[in-house]
Every structure is written in structure tokens, then in C-alpha cells.
Amino acid sequence: MKHYSFLFIAWCLLFSTTMKAQTPDSTIAIPNPSFEQWSTGSGYSVTVLIFPLTVYSSYTYPTGWNYPTYPVNESITYSGMNVNVNTNLPLLKVSNETSGVPHGSHALKLQSFMLSDIISSTVYNLASSELDPALTTTVFPTVLSTGVVDIDQLMPLMYDITGNLGSLTQMLTAFSGTDINTIIDGGIALNGAVPDRLTGYYKYTSAVSGDNGGILMIGSKYNTTTHKREVVGGGYTTAMTDTNAYTPFEITYSPLSEVNPSYPYIEADSLIIFLFSSANTSPQQGSALYLDGLQLWAQQPAIPADTCSAIFNLAVNSVDTMHATIGWTYEGTPDHFEAEYGIQGFTQGNGTSANAASNSLSLSSLQPDTYYDVYVRSVCSSTLTGEWSMVSFHTDTLVPPAIPEPDTCSAVFNLHVIDVDTMSATIGWSFEGDVLDFEAEYGIQGFTQGNGTTIHPSESFLHLSNLQPDTYYDLYVRCGCGNDLWGEWAKITFHTDTLVPPVIPDDSTGIQSFNTDKMLVYPNPAQGRCTVQFKHETPSVARLFTMEGVLVKELTPTGESFELTLPGSGIFLLVCELREGTVIQRIISQ
């Protein structure tokens, strides 16, 4: 029998209380919230010769709530014979309470237990020598949940995160990017409702002293882009300590964006509730948590506020040693734009503020050879602004011309960006002395020299192509004077533009084109391949996008007609650049 339960419980036991006062106007249905309905699980026994040997008797549990089970496949010795025990062992110790309950006629009692408490003494005495000693001496909290936990899938994750979960913020952040469906299956369907808080009644009895119970909520939503069910919120309490009287409790549900502002607000579409009888790392055998009258409240619907469009395509148009020009695009009709800038890594509020009436801003009196961050947002009124956008840039190095010493080679100076777009850049520089050629090496920002792409331009400029859009690059350049004599390296960092695909409105036919008098695509719909024909002109570039705006192919046509292979079935946008502008064709691939 594998000892996975302790790892799952260790994960659940690191939480502390959060409370919040709200006035929700509705509730969300949860299964058997007052524990009025109970079910019976079957017992299990094996037969040795003609003698039945009970492993565990039948057990009860609240209907609609799940509990962990462990697969047992062990051989034990009984009267000199090997007997195989093969079952799913239920790991829980609960009872149906009917005395003094605060809500309805029944309440739930969960107790922490040892293995000897849930299987027969005969089997335990025979099997204990065959089991992991850590398993036979461990106290397990009883854990019930509204979803089914896969302990085998949860265990590897626990090795990475168990030691780092000291708060709700850390717990929710640790789960970001994880497909929660591989760990927990099922839960409460929210159907558009937004959880606010969980309320109910509890009392608690420590077996010795200092033990406590707890409740955990996990909200999740299926991400259609990553195809994962991701954690987007939660709530917890471990403040259920010793009290002999049923006491009201309240647990707040918080979205991930509220506890960690670096994540966007996302509404959960499913909720898991965990109940556990001990909520610390040293559970006590026999500690009991009593629960009754659970209610999951929904938030009142929010009234959408007016919005101010965020800017996009924020980019550096030009930069030298002490100046830079920043540009952007926008939608809507903002009143003006607000900017804040400072040396890279500055905290907003401590930078230099500036306003712009149009979508361009000139910065001056900058420091040479320095990295800067610039934040820009649209301002629609005195109380309504858009989201901040940020871009970074590096001012040119101010290097006085160096006089080469004997047997020295001039260093490159005034290294600067001449032009940059989404996938290419042109870089220029100055030099002095008798230089025969140059050596350049480039790669994504932070690459180690020797691991980049090396080229040998013959002129004091170079053109880089096939770059990645929206990416920072480092470029090193040095002079070559022959006889293996090289100047010092000079470095510049630049950023390629963001590739924004055109937004094409839907139409009723599923096929839509613009400037079709200049481009013909046939057949359309296509069977994975089609011909593209232009009239009297060859496009400079052709790009194929998915309808979600993902660039899947880019090519440079060599004539007025070319064959296009489509990457599978679906609807694609073909965007071609001509002298007179852009032509666009929607293509269906069957």
C-alpha cells in the first residue's frame, strides 16, 4: 500500500483563516449541505479455505461527498498460507450526528484516524508487518470533498509546492498554469454565478490539545487557449479550534487577481470544497470536527462601468544618446495620454510624468548608455483611464573616437538602430582607422556570446531578417583589422515591433475578401491547397493567419502566381502586401 495520503493532507494543512462581510443576494447549490442524506459503502472480506476474514466492515458517508480511497494489493500470511487482499480501501472515519444539531436533523462528524481504526484487528495484526511502518504509525485526517481527488497525480506536484504554501496567495500562485483536472475531477458547476463566501456551523474537539479542523475552496475555469482547467480563485480557514458549542463560521472566496495582482480577473465556472478533520502537520488520533448547515453564497451581479480603451503597439520610433521618441496606436476617443518614465526597474509613482495630446511622445535629457522603462495609458476623463502599457529601450553609448595605439584596432562607436519592424532590423555604427571588415553576433536579449548568430558585414551597417516579433535582441559588433587583430566589442539592445494581424469582420458566407480585383484565390473552399493569382504585380510578402490572429506561415512570392499549402482544416486569413496597400482574403480549408 503506497503512502500518498500524507502528502495530500500536508498540502491541505498549510492554510489559515480569512473572513469577509458581504450581503450576497443568492446561494449556489452544493450537495447535501446539511448532511441530511447518508449512504452505505460495502464491506470487504477474503476467504481462507472456508473461513471468511473481514478486512473492513460496511461504512457510512454523507451522500454527494467524496472521500479518498487507496488501492490495496497485498499478500499476507494466514495459518501458513499466502492470502491476497485486493480492494480499494476507503480512507475516512465519519458518523451521522443527530443530537443538538443546529440545522435540520443531522450533522457531520469527521475524525482523524490511524489505519488500525478502519480495518479489522485480525487483518491489521496480520498485515502490519507487511506494510510500510510510516503508514501504520501515521494519523490521517478524514478528508471529504465535492470533487474526486486523484492522489497518484497530486503526489508529484506536492514535492514541488508543499514547502511554499504559507498563504492563499502562494497557494493560488503555485497552481497557476497547472491543469487541475489531472488532480481533481468534478466539483460544483457555478453556471455563471460568482462565489462570495461559504457559511455554516462547526464545533471541534482535539483528542489531546492544539489540533484544529479546516475547510478549503478551489475555483477553476477551463482555458480554451491552453486547453487546461486552471485555478482562478479560492478561500480557506483553519480557525476551527476547540469549542463545545456549534459556532457560526464564514470563509471568503477570493479571485486569484485579488491576492496576486499580476494575474487577470477570471470568473470560475467550477468550485471544489474540501473538509478535513485536522488542519496542521501533526493531526491527533480521534480529533473531531462537526459541521452542519453549509451555504455557498453568490455575489451580487456587478454593474459594468464605463471603460477607457488601452493603447497598443507601443514602440520606440527612434533613440540616440540622450533622446527617444515613443509612439503607439489606440481606439476610441481618449482626451489625452499620460506617460511615466525612468531608469529600468523604477517603481511607478517615482518616475518622471509627461502628457501627450497625440499618439507620440519625445523624451529628452536622457542619460547615454542607459536602459529606460516607459509606461503610457489613455485618459478618457478625470476618473476614467485605460490600462498601462510598457516599453523598454536603451540609449546609445556616447563614446569619443579612440586613437588606435600601435598594433591596435579601432573600437566601434555610435552603434544605433537605423530601422526596425516586426521581423527585421537595420543597425549602423561608426569607426576610425584602417578597418578591413567587421564581426557581429546577435541573439535574444541575455544570450551568452559564443552561442549567438555570427555574421561578417563588409560595411558599417547590417540588415537582420527572420527575427521574432515583439522580442528584445542583443547585438555585438567589433572591427577587424587583419592578422587576427580585433577591436573591442560594442553592444546595443533593440526590440522588434509587435505583429498585429488585421481584424476582419465576420460575414454570412464564411468567405470575405478586400481588394479582390487585385488578388484571386482558387479553389476556395480548398482541399488543403490553393492557387493565389495577382494582376500585374508580385506582392512583397504574404502572411497566413488563423482566425485567432496566430501567424502560421510567411513567404516571399517570386511571381504573380504561387501555390499555397494550408496547415490543416479551418478558416485562415491571407494577408499580402502590395505597393498600393494590403489585400486580404479569407480562405476555407476543408
Which CATH number fits the domain that encloses residue 568?
A: 2.60.40.3080
In terms of domains, do 234 and 288 share one? Answer: yes
In terms of domains, do 155 and 259 share one? Answer: yes
In terms of domains, do 210 and 249 share one? Answer: yes
- Domain presence at residue 40: yes
- Domain presence at residue 406: no
Q: What is the pLDDT of residue 159?
A: 41
Residue 418 host element (H or E): strand 413-420
376: amino acid identity, one letter: V
Q: What is the pLDDT of residue 50?
A: 65
Supply the DSSP symbol for 364. Answer: -
For residue range 394-409, list pLDDT tens digits in order: 999 887 665 555 578 8
For residue range 353-406, list pLDDT tens digits in order: 999 999 999 999 999 999 999 999 999 988 899 999 999 999 998 876 655 555
Low-confidence ranges of the chain (pLDDT < 70): 1-25, 48-51, 77-80, 150-177, 300-306, 400-406, 499-516
Distance CA 570, CA 528 (A): 10
- Domain presence at residue 502: no
In terms of domains, do 36 and 182 share one? Answer: yes
In terms of domains, do 425 and 549 share one? Answer: no
- Within 13 Å of residue 379, how many CA atoms lie on the same side as its CB? 15
**Number of CB atoms found within 10 A of residue 567's CB:** 12
Residue 231: closest CA among 181, 302, 164: 181
Distance CA 510, CA 527 (A): 16
Q: What is the pLDDT of residue 353?
A: 94
For residue range 218-249, list pLDDT tens digits in order: 888 888 888 888 888 888 888 899 999 999 99
Return phi, psi of residue 6, to 5°.
Answer: -60, -40
In terms of domains, do 250 and 208 share one? Answer: yes
In terms of domains, do 168 and 94 share one? Answer: yes
In terms of domains, do 432 and 552 share one? Answer: no
Quick one: how many helices (H) and strands (E) in the chain? Answer: 6, 42
- Domain presence at residue 407: no
The sheet with strand 561-565 has its strands ordered as: 519-522, 529-534, 561-565
- Domain presence at residue 171: yes
For residue range 473-530, list pLDDT tens digits in order: 999 999 998 888 899 999 999 998 876 655 554 443 333 445 557 788 889 889 889 9
**Rounded to whole angstroms, what are the CA distances from 410 to 214, 215, 224, 396, 489?**
71, 70, 55, 18, 10
The sheet with strand 360-363 has its strands ordered as: 312-319, 324-329, 360-363
Residue 502: closest CA among 453, 452, 573, 563: 573
Q: What is the pLDDT of residue 369?
A: 93
- Domain presence at residue 504: no
In terms of domains, do 184 and 245 share one? Answer: yes
Which cell goes with 14? 498549510
CA 453 to chain centre: 32
* Number of structural domains found in the chain: 4
In terms of domains, do 76 and 198 share one? Answer: yes
Q: What is the pLDDT of residue 40?
A: 93
**Rounded to whole angstroms, what are the CA distances from 93 to 102, 167, 259, 335, 424?**
22, 28, 34, 65, 66
Q: What is the pLDDT of residue 151?
A: 58
Q: What is the pLDDT of residue 8?
A: 40
- Domain presence at residue 305: no
Domain that holds residue 162: 5-298
Residue after which a domain boundary falls, among 495, 525, 550: 495
Give me the CATH number covering residue 81: 2.60.120.260
In terms of domains, do 69 and 166 share one? Answer: yes
Residue after which a domain boundary falls, among 333, 367, 394: 394
DSSP string across 371-382 = EEEEEEEEE-SS
**Rounded to whole angstroms, what are the CA distances from 409 to 74, 339, 433, 473, 550?**
78, 43, 8, 26, 46
In terms of domains, do 444 and 579 share one? Answer: no
- Domain presence at residue 71: yes
The shares of helix, strand and coil residues in the chain, as percent rounded to the nearest 5, are: 10, 45, 45
Return phi, psi of residue 323, to 5°.
Answer: -135, 155
The overall average pLDDT reported for the chain is: 82
Distance CA 291, CA 19 (A): 18
DSSP string across 439-504 = EEEEEETTPPTTSSEEE--SSSEEEE-SPPTT-EEEEEEEEE-STT-B---EEEEEEPPP--PPP-
Residue 208: closest CA among 280, 314, 256: 280
Distance CA 411, CA 480 (A): 9
Residue after which a domain boundary falls, among 250, 269, 298: 298
Which cell goes with 529? 491547397
- Residue ranges with strand state E in 10-166: 26-28, 38-41, 44-48, 51-56, 59-62, 69-78, 81-90, 94-97, 107-111, 143-145, 148-149
Give me the CATH number covering residue 320: 2.60.40.10
